[in-house]
Amino acid sequence: MKPEELKFAHSHEWAHIAQTDGKQIATVGISAHAIEALSDVVYMELPEVGAEVTAGASFGEVESVKATSDLFSPVTGKVIEVNTSLPDNLEVLSTDPYGQGWIIKVEITSDTSVESLLDFVAYEAICNE
């Protein structure tokens, strides 16, 4: 996926929203900017399928050599799929953060959570501040 097609949270997670069977499904990952800032990612803690996530709240953790960082959900809903091959393959976060580096898929239960997300241009502007 191209970053221009995505929505972004201030906390550097991205979301791709798609309609499937009348449901809104968000695919969630971390931006290239955040991956670069993290550097040396060594571990990722993912939620279980079925877990509830809330926009702005932590849904997992990513560890670099230096520090632990929370992953914040950009949307509110239920986790329907988790990228289980990612923790053993963390380089993919650097090589393909918007594609194979996806982390979870969420069935959105609250539309309003999507409204406050930024488009790519607005997100880039914050990063360059």
Residues that bind another protein (CB under 8 A): 39-40, 42-43, 45, 61, 63-68, 87
Cβ-based nearer residue to another protein, 94 or 109: 94
Angstrom distances, CA of residue 101 to CA of 38, 88, 123: 15, 12, 19
Nearer to another protein, 56 or 87 (CB): 87
CB of 61 to another protein, least distance (A): 7
The whole-angstrom distance between residue 82's C-alpha and the CA centroid of its chain comes to 11
Diameter over CA atoms, the chain: 43
Spatial separation of the C-alpha atoms in residues 113 and 129, rounded to whole Å: 25
Q: Which is nearer to another protein, 15 or 30 (CB)?
A: 30
- In the complex, the smallest distance separating the C-beta of residue 129 from another protein, rounded to whole angstroms, is 17
